[in-house]
Amino acid sequence: MISAAPTGAPGAVTVSHSHDGLVTTVLIDRPAKLNALTLQMLADLEEHLDTVAASKARVVLVRTSGSKAFCVGADIAAFSQLSPADMWRRWISIGHRVFNRLARLPQPTIAVVDGLAAGGGLELALACDLRIADTKARFSLPEVGLGTIPGWGGTERLTALVGASRAKELILTRRQIDAATAGTWGLVNTVADDQKLNDQIDQYVTDLLGSAPIAQQVAKQLVDATAQGAPSAILESIASGFTAHTEDFSTGVSSFLGKTTPQFHGH
Cα angle, residue 5 at apex, residues 98 and 126 outer, rounded to 5°: 35
Q: Which of 139, 264, 131 is nearest to 201 (CA)?
A: 131
Identify the active-site residue in 46, 47, 123, 156.
123
156 is annotated as an active-site residue = no
* Pairing state between β 138-140 and 177-178: antiparallel
Identify the active-site residue in 143, 169, 236, 247.
143
Strands (E), the chain: 12-18, 23-29, 59-64, 69-71, 109-113, 116-118, 130-134, 138-140, 177-178, 190-192
> How far is 109 from 141, CA to CA, in rounded Å?
22
143 is annotated as an active-site residue = yes
> How far is 74 from 133, CA to CA, in rounded Å?
21
Cα angle, residue 68 at apex, residues 150 and 149 outer, rounded to 5°: 10
**Are residues 83 and 104 in contact, defined by beta-carbon separation less than 8 angstroms?**
no
> How far is 38 from 81, CA to CA, in rounded Å?
13
H/E stretch holding 218 reads helix 213-227
Which residues are annotated as catalytic?
Answer: 123, 143
